[in-house]
Amino acid sequence: MMNISFQRPPDPPQSGTGPAVRAEHLTVVRGPRTVLRGLGFTVPRGRITGLLGPSGCGKSTLMRAIVGTQAKVTGTLEVLGRPAGDALLRSRIGYVTQAPSVYGDLTVRQNLEYFAAILDPGRAAAARRYEKVTGAIADVDLTTRADALAGNLSSGQRSRVSLAVALLGTPELLVLDEPTVGLDPVLRRDLWALFHTIAADRGATLLVSSHVMDEAERCHSLLLMREGEILAEGTPDALRSRTGAATVEAAFLHLVDATAAKKTAGKETVR
């Protein structure tokens, strides 16, 4: 497996007041299964927070709850100072799902023009829309493919089109569900560089999920998740220091083992 070294840029200055996301006793039940179990955490503003954990641990459900598209959410969940799902948040949040949300029979530019017209309608906004579309295409390095049908692009390129759509509104909070899955190492590096540019230059907050632990080192702060629970939150350095581990992956495994030991001890005490 090819690895590319990455030096995390220094933390950008925080913008706004209070955390970008605050959760207390956050719970989601789907049928007979409790998917999220009383979560409590914060996501700092103007930072890149990594939501890391294995597939099926509840990351996507948590992200849907934050952007307001998840049903049966209980507890407290505030986003940018308002209840999650509030109509006033729609223009302030960008959301990129795992499955690219683009029209295959439209070109890259046509896809962006369509969504830009929804966000900023009217003839008077035409010049502004053109500037935003051109800038978003350049941001994700698809200028040379702007006139290609989205259906003819690779999966990685389609994911970048989805990211460009999310960037059209200049969101304060950008929620990215496993945006680098299946991408080659060079493109992964370039996307992470873009994420840091968005945080540093635009003051945006990014919440990026991944099940690849080496991506933890590219984040300013982390939420480590397993089986619907938050095992720990903090900076990569703090989590390594707390567990005495050399890597975030080793820290995660230490926390998994410690949590399992506590649950086992609790069951034995009940007996």
Whether residue 249 contacts residue 214, with contact meaning beta carbons closer than 8 Å, is answered with yes
Band (pLDDT 50/70/90 cuts) for residue 170 is: confident
Beta strand pairing call for 21-30 and 33-43: antiparallel
pLDDT at 218: 93
State the average pLDDT over residues 183-195: 86
> Distance between CA atoms of 125 and 130, rounded to whole angstroms?
9
Band (pLDDT 50/70/90 cuts) for residue 35 is: very high
Amino acid in position 142: L
Beta strand pairing call for 48-52 and 221-226: parallel
- Kindly list the domain boundaries of the chain, sorted by start residue: 21-54+61-209
pLDDT at 148: 97
Long-range contacts of 214-219 (CB under 8 A, 24+ apart): 214/3, 214/249, 215/50, 215/52, 215/180, 215/188, 216/50, 216/52, 216/248, 216/249, 217/6, 217/8, 217/248, 218/6, 218/8, 218/48, 218/50, 218/192, 219/8, 219/48, 219/49, 219/50
Strand pairing partners for 254?
A: none
Q: Helices (DSSP H) in the chain: which residue ranges?
A: 59-67, 108-119, 126-139, 155-167, 185-202, 236-243, 248-270
219 three-class SS: coil
pLDDT at 13: 52
CATH architecture classification, 21-54+61-209: 3-Layer(aba) Sandwich (3.40)
**Mean pLDDT highest for which of 75-84, 207-216, 256-265?**
75-84
Band (pLDDT 50/70/90 cuts) for residue 99 is: confident
State the average pLDDT over residues 236-250: 93
Give the position of tokens 């999650």.
84
pLDDT at 169: 84
For the chain, what is the radius of gyration of the CA atoms? Answer: 19
Residues ≥6 apart with Cβ < 8 Å to 129: 113, 116, 117, 120
